[in-house]
Structure 1
Amino acid sequence: MWKYAVTGLFILFNSFIIVTQIDLQDIIYNTFFYKGNNNSNIIQIKSLRQQRLKRNAPFRNIEEITKMSKELNTYSYMILHNNSVISEHYFKSYIDDSKLESFSITKSIVSLMVGIALDKKYLSSIEDKIGKYFPECTMSNTSIKNLLEMSSGVKLYSLSGFFTSLVDFYSSNLTKRAFSRKPVFESGKYWVYDNINTQLIVLVLEKATKMKINVFVENYLWKYISTTEAQWSTDDSGNVKAFCGLQMTSEDLLRIGKLIMDKGKVNGYQVVSESYLQMIFNVNTNLCILSDIKQHNKNYGLHAWKSKINDTTIKYFFGSGGQFLLLIEEWNTVVVHMGFDVLISGPDDIDHILQKVVEVTHKTLLD
């Protein structure tokens, strides 16, 4: 429990001194999330070290980007436009080979692995019930699709999504925790953003493929796109933190975006089907948001997001603290923004930072 208290106090204190130059946000990030070269409680995802992306004048619009970095506590910012990196910036002590914590972007990558599992016939359908793989599970009547949509019927562990995430993050056995959660509502009715959905998806993938998730990612995704190894945080029992904890370089995250923009292909090889990549951004607007049942889901697909900024459609992966992988098809552009702002802790905080990153990206493209 001390970890919850310390993290909570750090964040509370930081909210009061945000106007000062004391950068506790970086202390929090480096103390609790960034692993660096620390090998405790992580597993490796090996790489075949693909050739790096082409660079083309990557230092344009420096003034605007530097201003954004101070406002959003940015660690890295990259733009891929027309298959060339036209902007690449790192801040604080981070560099191009720093493996940064992606937080809930990990969820979206897990969704990509569901698509690959469908393509390889490890899974027959996203309509499969969890009970097909785990008859004893309390959510046996919930489908993989319900988990992907965040409509499994569970409700948050507490009134605070932040506190629920802390409990998940510091759980000593996430498998046990996932199997202990019980649906409270009918599946497919309410949208509730809960980490345990992703944890169950990974358990299903491991059961269906007979591979640990890091091996499955390594064999079917990472070897095709990555320039270096990635790593995944685990709990004390060795279970990956499926809902967060995947750490990679900014370029390798950018290359995931390029894979999606290239309709799932790398050098002519279909890594993941185009049809699934289209599906993950389809938003089920019939889902009521449990925290405000008068509102319906407008932005969330299958562990992926879609919004409009100034009439431009933005498809994206999002992680707490300000992690973004943006896909702007209209501009033939992929953007990575990594950083850590403690005031950006969940889906409700997305709009401001998304608007800012898109605006700076647009100015950079015009520079």
Structure 2
Amino acid sequence: MALQTNDFPKHGFRKKIYFTLFLLGTTLFAHSQNVNEKEKITAHKTNSTINIDGILNDPIWQKTPLTNQLCDENGQYNNTAAWFAYDADNLYAGLICKVNNTSKLNTKLLDRDNQFMLRNDWVAFCVDTYHDGIKAYAFLVDAAGNELDGSLNPPTRDLSFSFSSKWTSAIKRNQDGYTVEMKIPLENLPVRWNKDSVTMAIQIIRYDKQNNRMVQWPATKDIGKFQTIVLHGINQTHPQNLSGVNLEDRLAYKKSKIDVTTLLGRCQGGDASVMDYLLFKKRDISGAEHPRMLHYHLQTEKVNRIFENTSYFKNLNTNIDFETMLERSQTTAFIVLRNDTILNENYFNGFHKDSTFTSFSVAKSFVSTLVGLAISDGFIKSEEDKITKYLPELMKKDARFSEITIRDLLSMSSGLAYSHDGFPSDDEFTYQSPDLRSAVLEHVRISDHPGKHWLYNNYNPLLLGMILERTTGKSVAKYAEEKLWKKMGGSNASWSLDEHGFEKMESGINCKAHDYARFALLLLNKGKYNGIQVIPESWVQKATQPQERPTGYYDYLLKNNTYYNYLWWGKFRDGQENANDFFAMGNKGEYVYICPQKKLTIIRLGFEYGFTPASMSWPDMFYQFATHF
């Protein structure tokens, strides 16, 4: 869900921060249309050094401003003016920001990339260096001179923090407000070259805190409709990858901020990251002596062509190919299999076949499988058991916990409360806490009767993990190793832990990309591998296929042809009552997608969701691909 501007102060450590207009009115829409009908702008180029001091007195700034017509849904806003210039090696932005009362401007200095600056008055310069609408990069400065940068992803321009660059800025306070200068080196940005010129697209955004207005130019949330701008004669650059992400730099940054021993200290590492497995403790999961071999019959051109014919790819309105799109959209691994044969396989952005890929919430589907195995082994009698049978201390907290079954936890319909608001929120308690067991028992609470409504809730898998520990007498990772991992032919892996040795049940399985495929094949083959029934076939059916639900249970999922069962997502296929598509999904765009009808498996892993509008668009594209394969 996109955050509004006045929510920023409450979400300093949220996993995603959104640039969002309140509502697009007709005035804004008309202005947006007019802007985008303009021809390309050839920007002012300078051969003189620009002094980044916030004063805006260099000769280049004496030319006509790029714009002083920033808009929101109420129309034009005249308190901000912006200039743009460049030289052979840098992009420059200059801004004048007027305010009602300068005494109310923030003056507190923060560490660089501290997301709390979003609660202040700030301006942002955004640039889509490829001019393809897939991604843009945002550079923000607030009235105190604090800096923040990240990548913007369609459609709501959610600001994620895998990308971070080296750049400089300066602000100068005056009697009307403040002025800003930015210098952004091109060498740190991915750039597409076309002979002597480069075409990019830019946008200016201002958050005027005193008036609680977020205004922008051009007046659009669509990165594909940013203002087109042409640069001539810039020096060629050599970015590490098309996403502009330097993983080593980001890891070093997180390590410099994080303190794993406290909740606040763990949150100081910022946004959840695919590198978190290098920060948290972990428990090894030993693989099979001979991991399952996957076969190859590459049909790369056929696979890419089918994906390029899906409506999701066509809606990009770009001339890049599918593999370039994957790299640009911050994908790290992409594999397509039919049965156990790989048809397409590629790795991007510094990752390779033997890299470690963390799961995020894909781990929940592994947890579902472990619960099924524990029932099969007799450690748990049934998924209809009340959770207080195994966690009796919950009765002291609230007698209503006795109404909740294991099935309710698996179905995300436990009636437990879950809020994303405030800090620390339930997100922080369930992902960042150094003692997850204690955090759950302290903060879990009831808001409704179980079984009535679906609510995605990270307390559910954590409670399941505690039940698995108590019933099996083993750590969750050890039980997974013995009952699942080795038997499915997995390679060596690990599971991230809190500081007290409890697995991060909602996330944190760390393994090779082929291990996700091995897990998928086990489910595709109804729980059987190498002639052995590893998972009961009845559990595979029960966990992955839709069940009858009360009216109003999750209508908004059904509208997108989507259902949710035992920690698995699914998509309905006509005529496939017991063989609908199903998938595991994790934060940052981790997917293990299975189409039983076509015997297809698709693995997409990444460090952000990438180009697609929200998490469900990758599965929608996979569904279309499988339909036409």
TM range, smaller chain: 0.7 to 0.9
CA distance, structure 1, for counterparts of residue 571 and residue 611 of structure 2: 17
CA distance, structure 2, for counterparts of residue 105 and residue 350 of structure 1: 13
Instruction: Measure how far apart 1:44 and its partner are.
Output: 1.0
1:56 to 297, 310, 317: 297
- Cα 1:39–1:182 change in 2 (3 A) is closer
Instruction: Measure how far apart 1:38 and its partner are.
Output: 3.6
Amino acid at match of 1:351: M
Instruction: Measure how far apart 1:261 and its partner are.
Output: 1.1
> Secondary structure at the residue paired with 1:349?
coil
Instruction: Measure how far apart 1:178 and its partner are.
Output: 1.5
Instruction: Measure how far apart 1:2 and its partner are.
Output: 11
Aligned to 1:114: 371
Aligned to 1:173: 435
Instruction: Measure how far apart 1:349 and its partner are.
Output: 2.9
1:294-338 CA-partner distances (Å, limit 9, x unpaired) = 999951101001114799842111111211111111111111111
Q: Tell me if 1:74 matches 2:331.
A: yes
1:337 to 604, 624, 627: 604
Aligned to 2:350: 93
2:274·2:607 contact (CA, 8 Å) conserved in 1? no
1:318·1:324 contact (CA, 8 Å) conserved in 2? yes
Q: Give the share of equivalent positions with the same residue, in percent.
A: 23
Q: Bigger relative contact order, structure 1 or 2, given CA contacts below 8 A and separation 6+?
A: 1
CA distance, structure 1, for counterparts of residue 450 and residue 136 of structure 2: 44
Q: Tell me if 1:306 matches 2:570.
A: yes
Aligned to 2:341: 84
1:188-209 CA-partner distances (Å, limit 9, x unpaired) = 1121111010000010011111
- Cα 1:160–1:258 change in 2 (3 A) is farther
- Cα 1:116–1:344 change in 2 (3 A) is farther
CA distance, structure 1, for counterparts of residue 371 and residue 490 of structure 2: 23
2:615 to 345, 350, 353: 350
Q: Tell me if 1:45 matches 2:45.
A: no
Aligned to 2:530: 267
CA distance, structure 2, for counterparts of residue 223 and residue 91 of structure 1: 28
Q: Please, what TM-score do these two structures have when normalized by structure 2?
A: 0.52
- Cα 1:328–1:10 change in 2 (3 A) is farther
CA distance, structure 2, for counterparts of residue 297 and residue 191 of structure 1: 16
CA distance, structure 1, for counterparts of residue 423 and residue 432 of structure 2: 14
- Cα 1:290–1:280 change in 2 (3 A) is closer
CA distance, structure 2, for counterparts of residue 280 and residue 247 of structure 1: 23
2:600·2:626 contact (CA, 8 Å) conserved in 1? no
Instruction: Measure how far apart 1:121 and its partner are.
Output: 1.0
CA distance, structure 2, for counterparts of residue 45 and residue 58 of structure 1: 33
1:321·1:344 contact (CA, 8 Å) conserved in 2? no
Amino acid at match of 2:281: N
- Cα 1:14–1:58 change in 2 (3 A) is farther
Equivalenced residue count is 362
CA distance, structure 2, for counterparts of residue 111 and residue 185 of structure 1: 23
CA distance, structure 1, for counterparts of residue 325 and residue 388 of structure 2: 47
Q: Could you tell me which runs of 5 or more consecutive residues in structure 1 were left unpaired when the two chains were aligned.
A: none
Instruction: Measure how far apart 1:361 and its partner are.
Output: 5.9
Q: Say which one has the larger Rg.
A: 2
2:411·2:566 contact (CA, 8 Å) conserved in 1? yes
1:168-198 CA-partner distances (Å, limit 9, x unpaired) = 2111211012212121211111211110100
Aligned to 1:143: 405
Q: Please, what TM-score do these two structures have when normalized by structure 1?
A: 0.85
> Secondary structure at the residue paired with 2:616?
helix
Q: Tell me if 1:195 matches 2:452.
A: no
2:592·2:601 contact (CA, 8 Å) conserved in 1? yes
Instruction: Measure how far apart 1:14 and its partner are.
Output: 10
- Cα 1:296–1:358 change in 2 (3 A) is closer
CA distance, structure 2, for counterparts of residue 284 and residue 173 of structure 1: 36
2:490·2:518 contact (CA, 8 Å) conserved in 1? no
Show the 5 A alignment for 1:210-249: 210-249=473-512
Instruction: Measure how far apart 1:27 and its partner are.
Output: 6.0
- Higher relative strand content: 2
> Secondary structure at the residue paired with 1:331?
coil
1:112-144 CA-partner distances (Å, limit 9, x unpaired) = 001111111111100011111121124343110
2:329·2:611 contact (CA, 8 Å) conserved in 1? no
Instruction: Measure how far apart 1:75 and its partner are.
Output: 0.8
Instruction: Measure how far apart 1:68 and its partner are.
Output: 3.6
Instruction: Measure how far apart 1:50 and its partner are.
Output: 1.4
1:286·1:297 contact (CA, 8 Å) conserved in 2? no
